[in-house]
């Protein structure tokens, strides 16, 4: 009866809409562990609309010009 069941909070939304802020202010203080890929994605590809103009997005993705992008777009490819 006193068995604890793991709970997963999966926060989804556009960049800057508050998922990280909510996790840091509400979930972490309650004992949750926060896992995030944002920093890795931003380091590899930049931040859409911040590090490069929005109108360059599709060209960058199609030509692999995102930061550190390889033939697979840089996702899941380490040391390639």
Return the percentage of the chain with pLDDT > 90, whole number: 18
Q: Model's pTM, two decimal places?
A: 0.48
- pLDDT given at position 1: 66
DSSP percent split of the chain into helix, strand, coil, nearest 5: 35, 0, 65
Residue 27 pLDDT > 80: yes
Mean pLDDT of 21-38: 89
Nearest to 28 by CA among 37, 38, 39, 20: 20
Average pLDDT over residues 59-66: 71
Distance between CA atoms of residues 27 and 59, nearest Å = 37
**Are 69 and 76 spatial neighbours (Cβ–Cβ below 8 Å)?**
no
Residues 22-44 have a mean pLDDT of: 86
Residues 6+ apart with CB under 8 A from 75: 44
């Amino acid at each position: 009866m006193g068995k604890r069941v793991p709970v997963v909070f999966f926060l989804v939304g556009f960049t800057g809409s508050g998922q990280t802020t909510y996790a840091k202010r509400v979930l972490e203080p309650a004992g949750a562990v926060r896992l995030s890929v944002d920093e890795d994605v931003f380091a590899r590809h930049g931040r859409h609309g911040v590090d490069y103009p929005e109108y360059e997005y599709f060209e960058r993705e199609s030509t692999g010009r995102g930061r550190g992008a390889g033939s697979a777009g840089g996702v899941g490819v380490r040391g390639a």
